[in-house]
Structure 1
Amino acid sequence: MLGNANIEKDGNGSRFAFYQEKINGEHLLRIHTFLANRGYCLQNKPQIYTRLIKGGKVRSIYRFKTFTYSSFNFIYELFYINNKKVVPYNIVDYLSPLALAIWIMDEGGKISSGLKIATNSYTLQEVKFLCKILNDKFGFDARLQSAGVLNQYVIYIPKKSIKLLVELVKPYFHSSIIYKLK
Structure 2
Amino acid sequence: MVILTSSILPFSKPKISSLKRIGPHNFDILNIIIGSLLGDGSMERDGSGSRFAFYVATKNGPYLLWIHQQISSLGYAKPQIPIVQTRKGKDREFVYFFRFRTFTYSSFNWILEAFYPKGRKIIPKLLEEYLTPLSLAIWIMDDGCLIKNRGLRFSTNSFTLTEIKYLSSLLENKFSLKTTIHKSGIGNQYNIYIPKSSLPHLIKLVNIHMHPHFYYKLGLINE
Report which of the two structures shows the higher radius of gyration computed on alpha carbons.
Answer: 2
User: Match of 1:133?
Assistant: 170
| Root-mean-square deviation (Å) | 1.7
User: Match of 1:177?
Assistant: 214
Write the deviation string for residues 121-149 of structure 1: whole angstroms up to 9, x where unpaired: 11111111101111111111111112221
Report deviation, 1:58.
Answer: 5.4
Task: Please give the TM-score of this superposition, normalised by the length of structure 1.
Answer: 0.92
Report deviation, 1:46.
Answer: 1.6
Task: Please give the TM-score of this superposition, normalised by the length of structure 2.
Answer: 0.76
Task: Note the residue ranges of structure 1 that are not aligned, 5 or more in a row.
Answer: none
User: Match of 2:157?
Assistant: 120
The question of 1:82 aligning with 2:118 is answered yes
Match of 2:146 among 96, 99, 110: 110
SS in 2 for 1:47: coil
Identity of aligned residues (%): 46
Report deviation, 1:53.
Answer: 5.1
Write the deviation string for residues 16-41 of structure 1: whole angstroms up to 9, x where unpaired: 00122222221111111122223322
SS in 2 for 1:85: coil
What does 1:1-182 align with in structure 2 at a 5 Å threshold? 1-51=37-87, 59-113=95-149, 114-182=151-219
Q: State whether residues 115 and 156 of structure 1, in contact with CA within 8 Å, keep that contact through their aligned partners in structure 2.
A: yes
Q: What is the CA–CA distance in structure 2 between the aligned matches of 1:102 and 1:78, rounded to whole Å? A: 19
Task: Note the residue ranges of structure 2 that are not aligned, 5 or more in a row.
Answer: 1-36
CA distance 1:90–1:171, change in 2 (3 Å):
same
Moved beyond 2 Å, runs of 4+: 47-61
Report deviation, 1:2.
Answer: 0.8
Q: Which has the higher strand share?
A: 1
